[in-house]
Amino acid sequence: MHPVVKLAKETVERYIRDGETTPLPEELTPEMKDKAGVFVSIKKKGELRGCIGTYSPTTENVAGEIIQNAVSAAVQDPRFPPVSPSELSELEYSVDVLSPPEKVESRDELDPKRYGVIVKKGNNRGLLLPDLEGVNTVEEQLNITAYKAGIFSMDDIELFRFEVRRYR
């Protein structure tokens, strides 16, 4: 198990079992030292169980983002009830470390397998990670992202793309 995934798993297990937040590791791997947005995804039997993240950094390093977002994915994703101790042995984790978002002028600059997307209109914004099962076209990616953001018209939207390093 990659160290960033191990950190996410240990963070969730410690928080769910003991109600304690994991401290930053004393030794950070090179990936953990960077400053970047991070998404932590939790699956159970292949189905999404929680996914929370930040598209730009809110802590000192990737390790801090993993700890913060792993707890949030486990207990604060509004789509799911909080993870229970009895589920811990069934959970699988992945961690996406995001590149800084870059504004794009055209849908032609998007690719749902390579790039994640941020759709913004006014104060509403939505994000969808790249290379997700069942998302094969730019239109599917944009429609899902806009729906998540509560954007119902694609007129005057701003588009941003980013790449991820995915750890499983």
Which one-letter amino acid corresponds to residue 137? T
At 58, is the secondary structure helix, strand, or coil? coil
Helices 3-18 and 62-75 pack at an angle, to 10 degrees, of 50
Please give the pLDDT value at position 69.
98
Q: Can you give the pTM of this predicted structure?
A: 0.93
Using CA atoms, how far residue 11 sits from 52, 55, 135, 152, in Å, is 14, 20, 29, 37
For the chain, list the domains and their CATH numbers: 3-98 (3.30.700.20), 102-167 (3.30.1490.150)
pLDDT tens string for the chain (168 positions)? Answer: 999 999 999 999 999 999 999 999 999 999 999 999 999 999 999 999 999 999 999 999 999 999 999 999 999 999 999 999 999 999 999 999 999 999 999 999 999 999 999 999 999 999 999 999 999 999 999 999 999 999 998 889 999 999 999 999
